[in-house]
Structure 1
Amino acid sequence: MVASPNELLEIIDNYDCEELTITTGVSWQKYEKLINQLSDDSFYRLSYLDGTLIILSPSRAHETIKKRIAILLETYFIQQQIPFYPLGSTTFRQKSKRGGKEPDESYCLETEKDFPDLAIEVITTSGGIGSLDIYQRLQIPEVWFWQHNSLRIYTLRDGDYQEQSQSQLLPLLDRSLFINCVQKTDISVAIQQLYSHLPS
């Protein structure tokens, strides 16, 4: 769906399920104004790159998966005694890079920073701005994409993202185990399974 910048707020009022709205020709000032207007509403996700703006209204399925990922990952951090700072869907942006993004979940590890070490995206709707292009401009060290019950991991190397079979930030996390746990509908069972396979 394509809309003019002046139609954006009217479109937002009509959301009741997951869908994407893509708008081109949006100034940085308009983007920041929209961020401020939505500051009390964490339901919508905004992505901005070179004047193109995407507004996503996540579905219940999307939010369920992203919450499972967050709970399991934070369980891992606590069990492994890894200092972490959850930043959730904070808006990260840089005017000089003409890019901005609100991940589904994000974390700083070891110390709190202006930008997260890890950003996580749950993909249930295709299309729109390439998230990696935005994260590259923001220099986010690692990005995870969950889509179709699979986890893809990208690490920033020499300014470009490279897909990895294992997290570089969390090298001891068993990727296959983590994927299996995320797929379980009972989160308590998933946590128990994760705990039982973690090194003590």
Structure 2
Amino acid sequence: MVVTISQAGSGTGAALLSNVTWETLEKLDADLAKTGAHLTYLDGCLEIMSPFYEAHEEPKKTLSQLLEIYMRMKDIRFYGRGSTTIGMKELGARKEPDESYCLGTRKSIPDLAIEVTVTSGGIDTLEIYRRVGVQEVWFWEDSVISVYCLRPTGYELVSNSELLPELDLRSIEFYSRMADQYDALNAFMRSLK
């Protein structure tokens, strides 16, 4: 087996490997289990991302808490799945979303996956989610949310969430940019009353 390593982005702590079998992926997953590394796999390409840092984790947590406040205040039943690994060998795809949710009922595949992007490059995340069947994917980058909805031909960039059509995404972006997370969450909650 030939494995080549390249940087997925400058200073990101990510490595992109090619020609990786599913069996090698599973072995690496077991070997790296206690390191906090995140593995993304698509058709023999494996991206290994080192444990996330503040520029990723804080916005991810703020965004997920804002979304959860909204769903609770609007009585929308949801089940947080966090970064539970989705995908399988038969699909040739596997991913750990930054956050994910099932709406209405618990399901094996989340309805909504959220990706907080602080670097570019790497594996086509939307292709993984398409194969798995995630209905909606949000990318948060530079405090802007881009929403992609699954169609028969692939994902389509849309202006609003179709799973949460009444949610004002610009409001979520605004509160996610506030300097203090605690104040942002409280201010958002007040705005919904």
Instruction: Give the TM-score, by structure 1 length.
Output: 0.87
Q: 1:81 to 1:37 in 2, by over 3 A?
A: farther
Deviations 1:34-77 (A, max 9, x none): 22334444x32211000000011222211111111111111112
Q: How does 1:95-174 map to 2 (within 5 A)?
A: 95-174=89-168
Determine the structure 2 residue equivalent to 1:12. none
Change (3 A) 1:84 1:37: farther
The match for 2:43 among 44, 47, 50 is: 50
Q: 3-state SS of the aligned residue for 1:111?
A: coil
DSSP-derived class of the 1:177 partner: helix
Q: Aligned equivalents of 2:79 and 2:37: distance in 1?
A: 22
Q: Residue 29 of structure 1 corresponds to which residue in structure 2?
A: 23
**Structure 1 counterpart of 2:65, one-letter code:** I
Q: What residue identity is the alignment partner of 1:103?
A: P
Name the Cα RMSD after superposition.
1.8
For the residue of structure 1 that corresponds to 2:58, the secondary structure is helix
Instruction: Using the aligned pairs only, state the percent identity.
Output: 41
Rounded Cα–Cα distance in structure 2 between residues aligned with 1:144 and 1:50: 23
Residue in structure 2 matched with residue 75 of structure 1 by the alignment = 69
Q: Residue 176 in 1 paired to residue 170 in 2?
A: yes
- Number of matched residues? 186
Aligned match of 2:53: 59
The 1:197–1:183 alpha-carbon spacing in structure 2 relative to 1, beyond 3 Å, is same
CA displacement at 1:144 relative to structure 2 = 0.3
Partner of 1:185: 179
**Cross-structure match for 2:3:** 4
Question: Structure 2: 5+ residue runs without aligned partners?
Answer: 6-10
Q: Distance in 2 between matches of 1:83 and 1:115?
A: 16
Displacement after TM superposition at 1:187 (Å): 1.6
Q: Is the 8 A contact 1:18 1:59 kept in 2?
A: no
User: 4+ residue runs of structure 1 moved beyond 4 angstroms?
Assistant: none
Contact 1:48 1:99 in 2 (8 A): yes
Q: How far is 1:159 from its partner?
A: 4.1
What 5-or-longer segments of structure 1 have no aligned partner? Answer: 8-16
> What is residue 87 of structure 2 aligned with on the other side?
93
Q: In the alignment, is the contact (CA less than 8 A) between 1:90 and 1:103 conserved in 2?
A: yes
| Distance in 1 of aligned mates of 2:53 and 2:191 | 31
Q: Is the 8 A contact 1:44 1:56 kept in 2?
A: yes
- TM-score, normalised by the number of residues in structure 2: 0.90
